[in-house]
Structure 1
Amino acid sequence: MKKIAYFLSVMFLFTAFAPAAMAKDAKKENPELTAEEQLRLEEINNRVEEIKAMDFADMSKEERKEVKSELREMKKEAKELGGGVYLSVGAIIIILLILILVT
């Protein structure tokens, strides 16, 4: 019975991490940011702080839409610059189950 449990846990583990391994691209292999990228990231952060300080009650609907679209674009750009490693909830649950089964 233990052999089956170990086999299934290993199979689930490989299934959880296979998509992450296949999704690698050139940018994630080099996580170091250049000086220009760090400067752009700081600019994005400053602009977000400015937007947070704005009073949206005085703005028209079109202006709010423009600010919202600007925030989306900056979020997408910051995500591309930042990179990082993400674990899904399923992968975390499988890791916990394996740790429980091993002990």
Structure 2
Amino acid sequence: MKKLPIYLMMMVLSLSVIPTTVSAKEKNPTAITANSKEVPAAVKVMYDRLEEIKAMDKSSMTSVEKKELRKEVRAIKANLKATNNGVYLSVGAIIIIILILILIL
């Protein structure tokens, strides 16, 4: 009976640790376009093309043309994600770094 609170606490603590990633990229891509000094020219062209596609009147297009636009949008978004270099750290990596720092200091 005395072990029940210990097991319960261990279960809650083990389930509360969820692996997460820390990303240096911004969630809102339109905020990046506000400062054209920071954005490379190729990325600016891709954002402009996305805005152009959003502004198009798609009601008069055929289904084949719409399908090609969807493919183009997906390709542009994939390229934008690839150009966005972020730093990813898992919770385990952060704990190991902290332990190493504690041992060194």
**TM (normalized to structure 2)?**
0.50
Question: Which whole-Å deviations, capped at 9, do the CAs of 1:74-100 have from their partners, x for residues lacking one?
Answer: 112222223477xxxxxxxxxxxxxxx
* 2:40 paired residue among 23, 38, 41: 38
In terms of fraction of residues, the more helix-rich structure is 1
Displacement of 1:49 in angstroms is 0.5
Displacement of 1:38 in angstroms is 3.4
Identity fraction in percent: 24
Moved more, 38-47 or 65-74: 38-47
Who is 2:82 aligned against? 80
User: What is the one-letter code of the residue matched to 1:61?
Assistant: S
* 2:64 paired residue among 62, 65, 71: 62
The structure that has the greater radius of gyration is 2
Who is 2:9 aligned against? 6
RMSD: 3.2
Structure 1: unaligned runs, 5 residues or longer: 22-27, 86-103
Residue-pair matches, total: 72
Displacement of 1:68 in angstroms is 0.7
* CA distance in structure 2 between the partners assigned to 1:84 and 1:49 by the alignment: 28
User: What is the one-letter code of the residue matched to 2:15?
Assistant: F
* CA distance in structure 2 between the partners assigned to 1:12 and 1:40 by the alignment: 44
**TM (normalized to structure 1)?**
0.50
Alignment of 1:10-21 (within 5 A): 10-14=13-17, 16-17=18-19, 20=20
More contact order relative to length (CA 8 Å, sep ≥ 6):
1
